[in-house]
C-alpha cells in the first residue's frame, strides 16, 4: 500500500485491491501489479473448479477479501462465512463487492452455523489461518459441511495437506492447498519481468516440489 504513490502506472488488478506485490521497472517507468488474484484464478482453474457457481469463502481478512471479490467478479454466488465478531469486516467486503460488481449475489453467514444450513457449494475456500503449522489440528468449519462441497481450496500452505484437506478428500471433495496459489502468483511475476512462459505441467511439478520442501523444513 505504501508503495502506491511511487508508481508511474498501476495495473487494473491494483485498482481492485489498493495494494501491490510486484513492481516492474524493466519496461519503462515503475508499474505496480497485484499477482495474487491471478494466482487464485489459476489455482481454481487448474483444480478443475469454476468461479461461476456457488462459492463459500471462510474468513473476510485480506486474502479472504480478494477471494470474495474475484469470485463475485467472475459471476459466482458468494457466501462469506465469518465468526460473529467479524461480521463488520465481512460487511465491508460485501460493500466493496457491490461497489465493483453492483449485480453480484453476496451474503454473510455465521461460520459456526454454516454446516447446519443445508447449503451445497461448488467451491469452498478457506481464507482463515486454521490448520496452519504448528496448530495443525484446527479446522475453520465443521466437517459435516464437507460432503455438500464439490471442491475445496485451502489457502494454508504449511503443512501442504491440512486436516481440512484430509477431511474434505475423505468426504469426496477435490482439494488443493495453498502452495498452488503461491507458485502461480510467482509465475505471473516472472511473466511480467521476463516475458517468460511456463507450461502448466512444469508449474504443477514446482508446486509439488515446494510443498515437499515445506514439509521437510518444518516437520
Residues 110 and 197 in one domain: no
Residues 26 and 123 in one domain: no
28 located within any domain: yes
Q: Does the structure show a pLDDT above 90 at 218?
A: no
Q: Does the structure show a pLDDT above 80 at 124?
A: yes
Residues 167 and 62 in one domain: yes
Residues 167 and 87 in one domain: yes
43 located within any domain: no
Q: What is the dihedral of CA 156, 48, 43, 57, to 10 degrees?
A: -50
Residue where one domain finishes, among candidates 178, 193, 210: 178
Say how far apart CA 141 and CA 153 lie, in whole Å.
13
Residues 100 and 186 in one domain: no
pLDDT digits (tens, 9 = 90+) for 144-154: 999 999 999 99
pLDDT of res. 219 = 65
Q: With helix as H, strand as E and coil as C, how does the chain read?
A: CCCHHHCCEECHHHHHHCCCCEEECCCCCCEEECCHHHHHHHHHHHCCCCCCCEEEEECCCHHHHHHHHHHHHCCCEEEEEECHHHHHHHHHHHHHHHHHCCCCEEEEEEHHHHHHCCCCEEEEEECCCCCCCCCCCCCCCCHHHHHHEEEEEECCCCCCCCHHHHHHHHCCCEEECCHHHHHHHHHHHHHHHHCCCCCHHHHHHHHHHHHHHHHHHHC
Residues 163 and 209 in one domain: no
Do 152 and 207 meet the contact criterion of CB atoms below 8 Å apart? no
Residues 172 and 184 in one domain: no
184 located within any domain: yes
Once rounded to an integer, what is the mean pLDDT over residues 171-199? Answer: 96
The pTM of this model reads: 0.94
- Residue at grid coordinates 508508481: 7
Confidence label for 182 from pLDDT (cuts 50, 70 and 90): very high
Domain that holds residue 9: 4-37+180-218
Residues 107 and 14 in one domain: no
Residues 125 and 169 in one domain: yes
67 located within any domain: yes
| CATH assignment at residue 85 | 3.40.50.720
Do 135 and 162 meet the contact criterion of CB atoms below 8 Å apart? no
Say how far apart CA 146 and CA 49 lie, in whole Å.
16
Residues 89 and 105 in one domain: yes
As a whole number, the mean pLDDT across the chain is: 95
Domain count of the chain? 2
Residues 204 and 168 in one domain: no
| CATH assignment at residue 213 | 3.40.50.10860
42 located within any domain: no
44 located within any domain: no
Once rounded to an integer, what is the mean pLDDT over residues 156-174? Answer: 97
Residues 61 and 156 in one domain: yes
Amino acid at each position: 500500500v505504501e508503495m502506491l504513490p511511487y508508481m508511474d502506472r498501476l495495473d487494473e488488478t491494483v485498482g481492485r485491491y489498493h495494494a501491490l506485490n510486484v513492481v516492474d521497472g524493466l519496461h519503462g517507468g515503475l508499474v505496480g501489479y497485484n499477482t495474487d488474484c491471478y494466482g487464485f484464478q489459476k489455482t481454481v482453474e487448474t483444480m478443475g473448479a469454476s468461479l461461476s457457481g456457488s462459492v463459500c469463502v471462510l474468513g473476510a481478512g485480506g486474502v479472504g477479501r480478494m477471494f470474495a471479490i474475484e469470485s463475485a467478479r467472475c459471476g459466482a454466488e458468494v457466501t462469506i462465512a465469518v465468526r460473529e465478531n467479524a461480521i463488520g469486516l465481512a460487511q465491508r467486503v460485501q460493500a466493496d463487492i457491490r461497489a465493483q460488481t453492483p449485480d453480484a449475489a453476496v451474503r454473510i453467514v455465521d461460520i459456526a452455523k454454516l454446516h447446519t444450513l443445508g447449503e451445497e457449494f461448488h467451491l469452498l475456500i478457506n481464507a482463515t489461518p486454521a490448520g496452519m503449522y504448528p496448530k495443525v489440528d484446527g479446522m475453520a468449519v465443521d466437517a459435516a459441511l464437507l460432503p455438500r462441497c464439490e471442491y475445496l481450496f485451502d489457502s494454508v500452505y504449511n503443512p501442504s495437506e491440512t486436516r481440512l484437506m484430509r477431511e474434505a478428500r475423505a468426504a469426496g471433495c477435490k482439494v488443493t492447498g495453498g502452495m498452488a496459489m503461491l507458485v502461480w502468483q510467482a509465475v505471473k511475476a516472472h511473466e511480467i519481468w521476463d516475458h517468460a512462459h511456463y507450461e502448466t505441467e512444469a508449474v504443477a511439478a514446482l508446486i509439488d516440489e515446494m510443498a515437499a520442501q515445506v514439509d521437510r523444513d518444518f516437520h
